[in-house]
Amino acid sequence: MKNSIKYPLLGIILLIIQLLINEFINVYPLLYIAVSPLFLIVIDNKMDTMLLMLIAFAFGFLTDLFTGGVLGLSAGALTAAAFFRNSIMYLSVPQTTLESSGSLSCKNIGTEKFIIISLVCYAIFFAVYIALDSIGSYFCLYSIIRFLVDVIINTGIAVLIDTAILKNF
């Protein structure tokens, strides 16, 4: 499938999955299931950081808009994760692998490296998300527990989605 069709279609699919999760699987406030950072991980690895940040902001804003959440919460967190994505990718994956593959997946880079990249991207996403969401509202210990639960559970979900749904994409 051509990249001009593949990545927008992938974005739409993951946005629909995110909206369905927000609507029907609500275990908030301790756990927020977010598949939107997965889109940043699996999108074309040759994409410029500024373009990636614009796409991340739009994706996050649409998520906030359609779920009735605080406008800008997901957008800000996703944009921050997009800012660091290319650096994380270049530090974790050999240059030859990046040049030969169009995007990052368990199939292309191995499950271990995919988990590491997912952990770091989700950690950045949830650090910003929780900081913006809980300014002055929660105790520090609660925010730390929430952060750890969110990062670990969402990384597992990202690996499951990548291996089950996106493996042939």
Which residue positions in the chain have pLDDT lower than 70? 1-3, 28, 136, 138, 168-169
Distance CA 39, CA 59 (A): 9
- pTM confidence score: 0.91
CATH topology for 3-168 is Arp2/3 complex 21 kDa subunit ARPC3 (1.10.1760)
Longest dimension (CA), the chain: 48
Q: In the prediction, which pLDDT does 3 show?
A: 64
Q: In the prediction, which pLDDT does 58 show?
A: 95
Whether 124 and 168 have beta carbons less than 8 Å apart is answered as no
Q: In the prediction, which pLDDT does 25 show?
A: 85
Q: In the prediction, which pLDDT does 103 show?
A: 78
Q: In the prediction, which pLDDT does 2 show?
A: 66
Tokens 């952990």 correspond to 119
